[in-house]
Structure 1
Amino acid sequence: MEEIHNYPFDPVIKFKQQGRSFSYKIIKEDASNLFHKHYTLQKGTKMSGIYLFGLQLKILDKTRDRKQCAHVLKQVNQCSNTTLTRRATSIGKQLLIEFNEKVPKFYNVEEIPVLENIRYSVKNRIFDIHYGDEDKIKEKQKIESVVRALDEGNISRNPYRCLCAIESHLPREGVVSKKRQRINEEMAQLIPISIVDINA
């Protein structure tokens, strides 16, 4: 293929080959670089020349717009319990870090404040974050006291669930139920009850 031109005096460049010829006219020198510079300044981002000359500008714009949109989190009523627990744990860890960083500014070095728990609510859903190990003996006594109160007050499962919804510090219904079963099993071993069929 033969190239015929008188550039820069003549903007037309011709290519000749046996049986056919091609020509193109240079409208403006360095147009692609000027366009690239103008486009990237307008968007405030860098762009690969490959994409520019591949004429994929619309795709790039869509991608950029997608990236600029903030990631929208699901609302609480649309999340699973696992997601809500993960969020609460992340918030709890972050608050603990900030608490430990700010404590030295407000308290004497010999005084060591301890963050025990945080409580917050989102759309009437209450989240309690507890820090540190709870005293196992006290927790056991608390559950036993609840079982006793439920038995003496003849409070069934559903009313207790309503109480737990109001007061989140009460032991969960499942924990109380397991404790009640364990107490019943222990009592059955200590005081065996024999059932006699008088009709037999």
Structure 2
Amino acid sequence: MDALTKMNVLSLVLCAVLLAMACIKADRIRAWRAGINPSAEELPDAFFAVARVLLVAMAGVGIYLSVQGFGVSDDTAWDDSELTSAVQGATDALDGSSNFGDIYAEDNDTGWIDEYATKIENEIVEHGGGDAPQYGVEATPADSNTAAEARYLVTASGAGTAFCLDVTRTRSKDGDYEPPGIAGGEGTVTVPSYDFGVTSREGGC
């Protein structure tokens, strides 16, 4: 439970206390005051009527603000169902996708791994839906990643569930891209193209 949610819950508890105070009978309050200070002036019925109206009004405002606060809290934190749906949508979108690599990098280069983490985070946020936050997702690469296969631990602020995304990178079957009008020292420059296979499962990597 985040700090904002705790504050909203506390506000509702205080509202319940105010409503309980408004329900206390006037005779009981008079008896309590008489026990503490017998010489105190007796309070008129109008005082209790006004006090009840004020207490109920304060409780109503507090409840309204708490409900609005819960809505804000929901917009700033992920829940498990939102993350589950977003990860599945991102997995479907990324699986089978293609991307160009660095012209000067070899196939065994691992520089793409950190860049792909950002791509995963953006895809998950995009598939989060209208109620999910637009931030708070982290895709952390595993230490054992290689140029051909990488795993990412996906977490989100507020969600108790984590996911593992397994990404495989292979040279595209459609071949590399040859930009027109660009030549290198040994002939035509080609831009390597890679295909990505992506799967996901709940839990750690």
TM range (shorter): under 0.3
Larger strand proportion, structure 1 or 2? 2
What TM-score comes out, normalization by structure 2 length?
Answer: 0.23
- State the structure with bigger RCO (CA 8 A, min sep 6), 1 or 2: 2
Q: TM-score, normalised by structure 1?
A: 0.24
Higher helix share: 1
